[in-house]
Structures are given as C-alpha cells and as structure tokens.
Amino acid sequence: MNEDIMTADEIRQKFLQFFKDRGHAVIPSASLIPENDPTTLFTASGMQPMLPYLLGQEHPAGTRVADSQKSFRTVDINEVGDNRHTTFFEMLGNWSLGDYFKKEQIEWMFQFLTDEIKIDPNRLYVTVFTGDKKNNIPKDTEAAGIWKELFAKKGINAKEIEIGGEENGYKVGMQGGRIFYYDVKKNWWSRAGTPDNMPAGEPGGSDSEMFYEFTDIEHDKKFGELCHPNCDCGRFLEIGNNVFMQYKKNSDGTFSMLPKHNVDFGGGLERMIMAVQNCHDIFEVNHKSILSHIEKVSGKKYGQNCDDLKAFRIIADHMKASVFLIADGVIPGNTDRGYFVRRLIRRSVRYADLLGIKVNTLAYVVEPITNMYKDCYPEVHNQLERIIDIVIKEEMAFRKTLMNGLKEFEKVIKKGNFGSGSGEYVSSDAVFNLVTTYGFPVELVQEISEEKGLSIDLETFQMKMDLHKARSRSGSEQKFKGGLGGTGEMETKYHTATHLLRQALEDVLGEKIVQKGSNINAERLRFDFGFDRKMTDDEKRKVEKIVNEKILAGFPVQRVVMKKEEAEKTGAVHAFGDKYADEVSVYFVGDSLETAYSKEFCGGPHVENTNLLGRFKITKEEAVSAGVRRIKAVLES
C-alpha cells in the first residue's frame, strides 16, 4: 500500500467541499443515539437522521444537503474479524430534497470518484433496477444511459447485462459487462422493502450502486459458480448507493409519481479509502494507528500470524465503536444501548488476553482513536480522560468475571459436563450457571465453546432463562418488605441506594453492619443500623464518596432466585432471625453474584443500573436509641 495516497480526512474533506461547491449545505453528523426515534437503538446509516426530510418535511438547511454521518450497526458484531466488516463506520451522504435528480447525481458521483479521488474508471462497475412488471414499475434505462455516456467519455464501452435475481448472477456471471440490472431485492429502496410489502402512501424508488473491483482477488467458487458485482467472494466492493425516490404506493396497490423527487446518496468512507488505496483490508487503511498501538503493547505484528488477525481486528473495531458510543453518552450496562458497549469492551478484553496484552493496557488504545478524529470530531477527543476512565473500570470489572468464569468453565470441561447425545454440547445447566452466577455473557460462552470444538444448547438454555426471568418478575410483584413506602420510580431508586449505603458503611466503619430498620419514600431514605458511637464527618464523607463512586461506575443491579443455603454461601446479607423459604431472592450490585459489591436477600424493586440513581448525599446522622444510629440521605439529580 502506498502511504502517500489520500487519507480518510482528505477524502471526507474533498467530498464535503465538492458538494458545497455545488450548492449543498454541509451539516454536522447526528449523534449515534437517534433523536425522537424509539424504534431503533442506534444511528445505523446516513439516511436515518434525514428520513423525515425525505418523507416531505422541510429541511432548515434547504433542498441540497451533504454530511459525513457516524454510524453503528449491531448486526455486524459477530462478523468482525474478516477484512471488511466493522461495526462503526462513517457514511458520506448528499441529498436532493425535491431539487436535482438522476442526471446531476450520477454525473457528480462519477466525477467525484474518477476525477477528485482518482479511482480508475476501469475498476468501477454499477448496478441499476431491472423493473417490476407486476407493479408496472419500468426498467431504469434512464440511469443506465447516463452511466453509459459517462463511461464512454473515459473510453470505456459499458456493456449492459441483465441479471435479475441475485442467485441468477452466479449462473450468468460478468459476461464482459459494466452495467448490471438487478431486481427489487437488490436495487429498490423503501422503508418496507420490496414494492409488494409497501403500505399505501409509502414512498420508494430504484437505486444505482457502485462497485470497485480488486483485480488481484480471484473468484472463490464456494460462493457460487460464477462471479458478479453482488458476489460475496471479495472481488467486488460496494462503495456507494444512489437512491432515486420517485414513487408512491396508492391505496389500490398501484404506484404513481411523487410530486417531488428526492435523491439520497450514501457511501462508506472507509470503503472509499479501500478503493482509493486499492487495498482490500479495511483495517489496514483506516485503523492503522490503532493497530500500531496494539502491536506495541502485544509485541506482535499485524498480518504476521493469521491466528492473530481476528484478535487485532476485533480490538481495533470494537474499541473504536466503544469510544464513539461513550462519547455520545452510552455507558456500559446490562440493558439496551449500554449492553452493546459492554459487549464490545468485553470481547476486546477477551481478545486482548489472547494476544497477551497486559491488564489495563487496552484502555489506552482510546487515545490513538481520539487522535485520529480530533479534527472532524473534537467532541470525542475532548472526552479522552473520561472515556479512558470508563473503559478501565469496565475492563477491571469484567476481568474479575472472566477469571472466575473461565475457572468454572474449565471445571465444566474437565467434568465432561455435556448434554445427552453426541457429547458435543455443553449442557444447558452449565451454561445457565455460568451466565446467572458468574455473569458470563452467553455470547462468550458460545465463542469459547466453539474454540474448544463444542456447541451449546442455546434453545434449552433460553427456555431456562425465560423461566428464570418469569420467576423474577413474579417475585417483584409481591409485597415488598423493609420499610419501602411504595414502588414508584423514586422509591425504587432509594431502595437500591440503601443497599449501596449499607455496604459502604461496612467498608468505612470496618464492622459487620446489622440493619435495624429502614423507611423509604419518594423524598428520602432512612436507614437504622447497629453502631455504638456517632460517625465522624470524615467517615460520613467517605461513605458518600463510595456510594457515589458505585453510582458512577454504572454497575448492573441483578436478581437471582436460588436455594437459601446456596445464597448464604455466596455471602449475601440477610436479616438474622427472619424466616426464609427454601428458595430466596437475592439482589446483587455488580457483574456477577460472586464478585458483586453488594448482595442481599431482598424482594425488590430496584433500578437496572446504579447510574440511574443520581448523586447521593447524607443529610443527617443521629442516635435512635442505645447502640442504634440513623442515617437520612437524598438523591440529587
């Protein structure tokens, strides 16, 4: 690869300037957390934030807009490790909102690719829509004709080839073609998919995709007999897609023209770099500084050992995605968005171990990442210390879980704790125990099992988890003990804070804290405990500090139902003298029951994560009676 060829910053800037020169307003990237869109967790494409304007709402910047949009796709997490899949990427985009249409868009894109960033036109191939006879939507010969003329100006005879369905591409192959017609599954866009699936009133239209050919890659027949632009063998790389939104579905099922035609272009920045540099490794071209850091801390070279490639790539991609997600406000946790950040960091830790990287070194890959983007995304670089702190805490918490879980996993393997049948499956009971007691992510159990030539019985495991969750919900619906005045949001928060307070008191005072009573309402918590003297101001400050540290750490709050004897062995606190059933509910604050900061026999309810609590403040500490003290505290937003 030639180091002097254009970088990501240069290509991004050229793209935005190119369209600015053509009357487009350049707008900043939207957050990775979608605004006013409860249907999805993350911004996964450049089109997503623009959808209201494509559907008719007026954009404040006008009818011509361009940007580079941060994007994160959860569906690609398990695919990362090859040479082209990433979870985080940037999407270069330009839009015409009822302004220009096919001719201008195609001509500009061809000009940008071949003249501005100097991609060899002989390496470019395009696809267009073959039409939909059933719905009376014509073949897009207009787009094909524009492409044909542009290629001709470069001295290229652009032969047109009819493909139809993708599967037919493996039968007919390239045939010396340059422009390829595909059906509705490949070259039609609407939110609902194909024309048949679109509801009345839904807009849609044909699209035209652009592909770059790596001439040094030979077609692999395991993907199909013959190669074609949409083949997955790696020879062709899609670098952009022009969507021409011009149709609307009518109530009678027919299609008519929209009064205003829109253009939506989306092109992967990282993929364009691959084409510009003629390099089919996305990590080599756009993760180089991250890979260099991993080389430094691991003592290994990227690309030198095939067995290490996957680990290098997973760490580079997952840490980059984590940095951007944390910068946009997503904290590692056990639910929703936080779950994905936690999963990314934990997979990175796992693969860092496989590379022999020392503890805590992983967090400092953050700085090379923020340095890469300090000019275009300064808000990420400005949060460097905060992001490093969050990554270190998550790594350390997971390492405890990982160490204990791996020990237990080895016991499972040594015991031959497999399900019935061929002996190739880890039993669902063993998996359930690893997940619920040791906090081991089921994806990691599956990954390690596969490395050892084993599988896990996911179906039976899931049935056990569903039953476990149902029992947990059932328990939460019962009456709550311990002075809880209600089950509203604030009462629930104060209840969780009381658990943290009890353990913090034990940490500071150095004695086993026996609860003597509590009273919780929506305004404050009150906690009585056995202690024979007044707490000093320094002790109260230390307790406050510990509780607030645990809140900021973003620990998950989890519940397990287990045999009373087993629960006592874990060290879970309970009220001595109280009678308990054979099975008890234990709430714990932390990644696993074994390593939890706080664990108590309790019926609930609790928040899902400590970071939901707010700032903890002790308002009063006083005597209740001889040998009993009382603390009153509040949570501030």
HEC-encoded secondary structure of 336-370: HHHHHHHHHHHHHHHHHHHCCCCCCHHHHHHHHHH
Q: How far is CA 493 from the centre of its chain?
A: 27
Q: Is the pLDDT of residue 106 over 50?
A: yes
Residue 482 pLDDT level (bands cut at 50, 70, 90): very low
Task: Give the closest residue to 233 by CA, choosing from 246, 224, 242.
Answer: 224
Residue 152 pLDDT level (bands cut at 50, 70, 90): very high
DSSP string over 472-501: HHHHHTSPP-SSB---SHHHHHHHHHHHHH
Residue 16 pLDDT level (bands cut at 50, 70, 90): very high
Sheet holding 628-636, edge to edge: 515-520, 525-530, 628-636, 615-625
Q: Is the pLDDT of residue 161 over 50?
A: yes
| The pLDDT of residue 236 | 97
380-389, 403-412, 481-490 — which is least confidently predicted? Answer: 481-490
| The pLDDT of residue 66 | 97
Apex 224 CA angle, 221 and 226, nearest 5? 80
| The pLDDT of residue 422 | 45
- Give the whole-angstrom CA distance, residue 176 versus residue 122: 12
Quick: pLDDT tens for 589-632: 998 888 899 999 887 788 889 999 999 999 999 987 777 899 99
- Give the whole-angstrom CA distance, residue 439 versus residue 453: 23
39-43, 317-321, 439-443 — which is least confidently predicted? Answer: 439-443
The per-residue pLDDT of the chain, averaged, comes to 88
| The pLDDT of residue 633 | 94
Residue 127 pLDDT level (bands cut at 50, 70, 90): very high
Q: What is the pTM of this model?
A: 0.71
In this structure, is the dihedral angle defined by the CA atoms of residues 139, 142, 144 and 145, taken in order, positive or negative? positive
Q: Is the pLDDT of residue 3 over 60?
A: no
Rounded to a whole number, what is the largest CA-CA distance in the chain? 97
Note the CATH architecture for domain 489-636.
2-Layer Sandwich (3.30)
Map residue 433 onto helix, strand or coil: helix
Task: Give the closest residue to 209 by CA, choosing from 282, 289, 268, 125.
Answer: 125
Quick: pLDDT tens for 562-597: 888 888 888 898 765 455 667 778 899 998 888 899
Q: Is the pLDDT of residue 17 over 90?
A: yes
Residue 43, both tokens: 């911004």
166-170, 550-554, 567-571 — which is least confidently predicted? Answer: 567-571
Residue 406, both tokens: 């791996």
End-to-end CA distance of the chain: 52
Listed ranges 117-126, 280-289, 336-345; the one with the highest mean pLDDT = 117-126
Average pLDDT over residues 264-274: 96
Residue 99 pLDDT level (bands cut at 50, 70, 90): very high
In this structure, the dihedral spanned by the alpha carbons of residues 438, 442, 445 and 449, taken in order and rounded to 10 degrees, is 150
| The pLDDT of residue 477 | 40
User: Which amino acid, residue 417?
Assistant: N
Q: Mark out the alpha helices in 218-268 (DSSP H runs).
A: none
Residue 74 pLDDT level (bands cut at 50, 70, 90): confident
Q: Which DSSP category does 418 fall into?
A: B
Residue 415, both tokens: 């015991």
| The pLDDT of residue 517 | 75
Residue span(s) of the chain under CATH 3.30.980.10 come to 489-636
Average pLDDT over residues 500-512: 91
Q: Which residues pair with 632 in a beta bridge?
A: 526, 620
Q: Is the pLDDT of residue 35 over 60?
A: yes
Q: Which residues pair with 452 in a beta bridge?
A: none
Average pLDDT over residues 16-30: 96
| The pLDDT of residue 481 | 42
Average pLDDT over residues 79-106: 95
Strand segments (E) across 412-524: 425-426, 455-456, 515-520
**Which DSSP helix (H) or strand (E) runs through 91?**
strand 88-97
Q: Is the pLDDT of residue 437 over 90?
A: no
Q: Which residue has the higher pLDDT, 403 or 122?
A: 122
Task: Give the closest residue to 317 by CA, choosing from 64, 524, 576, 79.
Answer: 79
Task: Give the closest residue to 49 by CA, choosing from 67, 62, 22, 64.
Answer: 67
Contact between 128 and 181 under an 8 Å Cβ cutoff? The reply is: yes
Average pLDDT over residues 442-467: 79
Residue 485 pLDDT level (bands cut at 50, 70, 90): very low
Residue span(s) of the chain under CATH 3.30.930.10 come to 8-283
Q: What does each C-alpha distance from 276 to 49, 214, 272, 327, 603 come to in angstroms?
A: 28, 11, 6, 30, 60
Q: Which residues pair with 615 in a beta bridge?
A: 636
Average pLDDT over residues 417-445: 71
83-87, 136-140, 382-386, 514-518 — which is least confidently predicted? Answer: 514-518
Q: Which residues have CB under 8 Å from 248's CB, separation 6+?
A: 201, 202, 203, 204, 255, 256, 257, 258
Mention the CATH class of domain 8-283. alpha beta
Q: Which residue has the higher pLDDT, 342 or 307?
A: 342
Q: Is the pLDDT of residue 487 over 60?
A: no
Strand segments (E) across 151-254: 160-164, 179-182, 188-189, 203-213, 236-249
Q: Is the pLDDT of residue 2 over 50?
A: no
